[in-house]
Structure 1
Amino acid sequence: MKNWKRMLLSLTISAGLLTSAVPAMAAPQQPGVTVNNQAIKYSAGAPVLDEGTTLVPLKSTLQAMDIKLQNAAGDTIYAVVDGKTITLKSKLKVINGVTYAPIRVLGDATGYEVRWDAKTRTVILQSKTGDGGTQTSSVNAGRGFMWEVEANGNTVYLVGSMHIADDSFYPLRDEYEEAFAEADYLGVEIDISKAAGEDQQKLIMDLGMYQDGTTLKDHVSAETYAKLGEILKEAGLEPNALDAFKPWVAESTLSSLKAAKAGYEASAGIDLYFIQKAVERKIPVVELESYESQLSMFNDFSQELQEKNLRAALDNFEVLDQSVGLMAEMWKTGNEEQLLDLTNNFSTDAEYVKAMLIDRNIGMADKIDGYLKNGKKEEYFVVVGAAHYLGEHGILKLLEDKGYKVVRK
């Protein structure tokens, strides 16, 4: 398992690559929906992913939930639940003549627990009480990582994310939901719900593909290229499937393929979970970084470092799914000692550490410092990769050096 920590760092530290589908090896299937273990069969329309939010045909979904739709207009839904008329505020969208709404809004507002099963790409609605099931308590929910900083009448909650996850991460602890419910802003590394946008995809192609007529084979050793071809073939792809792309794209693609096979996907990640909820609550999402800055960082790695990272992914490919499972357990138990060990020991390469951790942490800590100083009595809920927080160069230390008191929640 030599160098496996180098591979796993991207799961807790950098959102952009894992959610950008580079290159798009296969289009993901559209999500399904179950209500109390019964799959909904849609006759008109089907669930779709729209900027990270699962939208479902409104009328047929409510009918499957045993809820009567009275009317839907603008951003307001009127429905009858257990004989009582309720009003839901939600973003509505008409697709091919069918009215769609976010599934999480419908479920949360009508008394269902809403979960995501990454392995089957299914949204699961389960009754919290009654015949459909029992209330699911967050007492046994994952501890995760969250800290609080207060200054000048402002509050910033700092949440450590795993950018890929599965349904076992949910529901989150009540402390997360309560803090987010009061937030005026959601802060993230980048808004990954826009990953499929035309501008983001063009940027990936411009930076991640060779533009001079050469291919990956011309830039890595024969041994590395042969090993990559073997693994791609075992995965059911052509051995030259990544020839047009640079080593850093190939590395990310391998990690994402293996993690997805193990059931961990960006669609269930902690940051995307809160981005979806921010869209539903209609609160601003502010970015501490940008797609361009993250992708440019990887693209600016030296050729030697890019091949070293790719080689680490190849050498550890068979054990990556096991390693992701260990990291998931670390997050759920909220084990700071293990997180600090990962952060301190993931790489001995000075170029890698400076780009991935030191420089980015300084930039994000400065942004958070600005939130705390604005004097507007606002609350920020900031979600970035967990490995950014701890250690000598971590965000928490940088904030403490600026005079702030940081409290684990």
Structure 2
Amino acid sequence: MKPWKNMLLSLTVSVGLMASAVPAFAAAPPEGFAQTSVNLNGKKIDYAAGEALVQKGTTLVPVDLTTQALGIKLKDNKNGTVRVTVNGKVVTLEAKSKLIDGIPFVSLRALAEVAGYDVRWDRKTNTVLLVSQATGQAARGFLWEVQNGPTTVYLVGSMHIADDSFYPLRKEFEQAFAEADYLGVEIDLSQAAGEDQQKMILDMGTYKDGTTLKDHISAATYKELGKLLKANGLQANALDKFKPWVVETTLGSLKSSEAGYEAGAGVDLYFIQQAVKKKIPVIELESYESQLGMFNGLSDKVQEKNLKSVIDNFDSIEDSTNEMAEMWKSGNEKALLELTNRVAQDPEYYKALLTDRNVGMADKIEGYLKSGKAEEYFIVVGAAHYLGKDGVLKLLEDKGYKITRK
């Protein structure tokens, strides 16, 4: 496996924690504009630099961030003419974009309707509501069942970043979840943006000894990073305070977001939100601290190698993320196994990302199976944790459990 694809694996089958690693700051609306919030299928769209803007009754939103949130691709925006790709077709918006404080904005309704969303207004909360019209073909995904006496455990292989094309899920997922007494996940991603979690990123992922990124990677890698950041509208030293693993994962998250894949649409977060509605307990197999520690514990050599690989292959990340998404949606177990096995070509990364964590996950799952109670557990972890000689399924089979693909 090419080293840069290791980063993609961490995003798609681990948590992709770094999407919020670089802090954002709210701003007041420009003169002549009011602000409003936008909710997409019940979840607020975070515009980072403020809310959506309202001018003379028209809600205007940043073109780039909103196309990402809606799961469509921005083709181009030339002279105010916005073209987007929806279901493989290029569509030109009737509404023109306009620059506001240097950022292109466009009518939210124009974008939302071509993307297949109904636009509604909640006067009480001053919120625009976008509700998906899409039905789509149910994704195959990865689902297994394990039983021990009266106890049943469903094992779901997640992709932690996704888009609307992943939904609706197959009825087998929904039926199994409907019967669940517990939802198990790697970590509760609904809490990932909390103050304590952000403090952990800063504590682990930044330098405290007066040095910066420039002092810890080669001059050549640092120079190439600076060029990449400037080409994407940032200062060359914008990420200097962060360690290589934070910079690497942040770059990957940003590029995957351009392709429309977001943690907010991930399979595990989808079920976490459903669990909250059903009021069933969410149990964590790992901790936020342990996952950050896994990245932070990688050697300097591996951290720089992964960072350089992402820089060198930055423009290819979108295509490869699309390939992984198709693998998940088609439930292609052979492709998943091949992907998982290739990670082993980097022993240190393989051990940290998969091997060690798989053992802990399998032990916890066995604990649930041994409860002796007529209970059902619905466990959602990254898909790559399940297959291969060191995978969770093999570890459970070695303990004597029979596993059935659903």
Give the TM-score, by structure 2 length.
0.75
Q: Deviations over 1:320-363 (max 9, x none)?
A: 00000011110111000000000000352211111111100000
Q: Whole-Å Cα distance in 2 between the matches of residues 18 and 210 of structure 1?
A: 16
Count residues with an aligned counterpart.
326
How big is the shift at 1:376?
1.6
Matched, 1:24 2:23: yes
Shift in Å at residue 123 of structure 1? 9.8
Structure 1 unaligned residues grouped into runs of 5+: 29-42, 57-115, 127-132
CA displacement at 1:2 relative to structure 2? 3.7
Q: Which residue of 2 aligns with 1:350?
A: 347
CA distance in 2, matches of 1:171, 1:343: 26
**Match of residue 9 from structure 2:** 9
Change (3 A) 1:53 1:378: farther
| RMSD (CA atoms) | 2.7
Matched, 1:291 2:280: no
Q: SS of the counterpart of 1:384? A: strand
Secondary structure of 2:277's counterpart equals helix
1:337 pairs with 2:334? yes
Q: How much does 1:386 deviate?
A: 0.5
1:303 to 300, 325, 333: 300
Q: Answer whether contact 1:145 1:159 (CA < 8 A) is retained.
A: yes
Equivalence for 1:279:
276
CA deviation after TM superposition for structure 1 residue 222, in Å: 0.6
Instruction: Give the match for residue 267 of structure 2.
Output: 270
Per-residue Cα deviation, 1:6-25 (whole angstroms, up to 9, x for no partner): 12211332115255x11236
Structure 1 contact 190–290 (Cα < 8 Å) conserved: yes
Q: Deviations over 1:294-321 (max 9, x none)?
A: 0011111111111111112112111000
The separation in 2 between residues aligned to 1:288 and 1:124, in whole angstroms, is 36
Change (3 A) 1:245 1:188: same
**Equivalence for 1:325:** 322
- Counterpart-to-counterpart distance in 2, 1:315 and 1:44: 39
1:211-250 equivalent positions in 2, closer than 5 A: 211-250=208-247
Equivalent residue runs for 1:7-406 within 5 Å: 7-15=7-15, 17-18=17-18, 21-24=20-23, 46-47=37-38, 54=43, 117-119=70-72, 124=117, 140-406=137-403
Partners of 2:134 and 2:252 lie apart in 1 by 32
Task: Return the alpha-carbon distance in structure 2 between the equivalents of residues 227 and 262 of structure 1.
Answer: 23
CA distance in 1, matches of 2:252, 2:37: 30
CA deviation map 1:38-66 (0-9, x unaligned): xxxxx9974569xx97269xxxxxxxxxx
Letter in 1 for 2:70: D
Q: In the alignment, residue 161 of structure 2 is paired with which amino acid? A: I
Counterpart residue identity of residue 185, structure 2: V
CA distance in 1, matches of 2:334, 2:25: 38
> In the alignment, is the contact (CA less than 8 A) between 1:162 and 1:386 conserved in 2?
yes
C-alpha change, 1:231 and 1:244, in structure 2 (3 Å) is: same
Contact 2:18 2:246 in 1 (8 A): no
Query: Is the 8 Å Cα contact of residues 268 and 381 (structure 2) preserved in structure 1?
Result: yes
For 2:51, the equivalent position in structure 1 comes to none
Distance in 2, Cα, partners of 1:134 & 1:312: 37
- Give the letter for the 2:361 counterpart: M
Measured in 1, the distance between the counterparts of 2:25 and 2:334 equals 38
The one-character-per-residue Cα deviations of 1:376-405 (angstroms, maximum 9, x if unpaired) are 211111110000000000000000001000
1:252 offset after TM fit, Å?
Answer: 0.5
CA distance in 2, matches of 1:208, 1:334: 34
TM-score by length of 1: 0.74
Per-residue deviation at 1:152? Answer: 2.3
State whether residues 166 and 265 of structure 1, in contact with CA within 8 Å, keep that contact through their aligned partners in structure 2: yes
Distance 2:250 2:36 in 1: 31
Comparing 150-159 and 116-125, the one that deviates more: 116-125
Once the two structures are superposed, what CA deviation does each residue of 1:125-158 show, in whole Å capped at 9, x if it has no partner?
69xxxxxx999767x3110101000112111111
Q: Which moved more, 1:345-354 or 1:227-236?
A: 345-354
| Residues 1:143 and 1:240: Cα distance change in structure 2 (over 3 Å) | same
Aligned 8 A contact 1:16 1:192 in 2: no
CA distance in structure 2 between the aligned counterparts of 1:248 and 1:167, rounded to whole angstroms: 29
User: Partners in 1 of 2:116 and 2:152 — Cα distance?
Assistant: 33
The CA distance in 2 between the partners of 1:169 and 1:152, in whole Å, is 33
CA distance in 1, matches of 2:308, 2:286: 28
Structure 2 unaligned residues grouped into runs of 5+: 28-33, 46-68, 73-110, 120-130
Amino acid in the other structure paired with 1:210: Y
2:289 and 2:42 map into 1 onto residues whose CA distance is 23
Match of 1:3, as an amino acid? Answer: P
Preserved contact between residue 150 and residue 375 of structure 2 (Cα < 8 Å)? yes
Contact preservation (8 Å) 1:371, 1:380: yes
**CA distance 1:345–1:370, shift in 2 (3 Å):** same
After superposition, the Cα gap between the structure-2 partners of 1:196 and 1:135, relative to the gap in structure 1 and judged at 3 Å, is closer
| Shift in CA distance, 306/4, structure 1 to aligned 2, threshold 3 Å | closer
Secondary structure at the counterpart of residue 286 of structure 1: strand
Tell me the equivalent position of 1:108: none
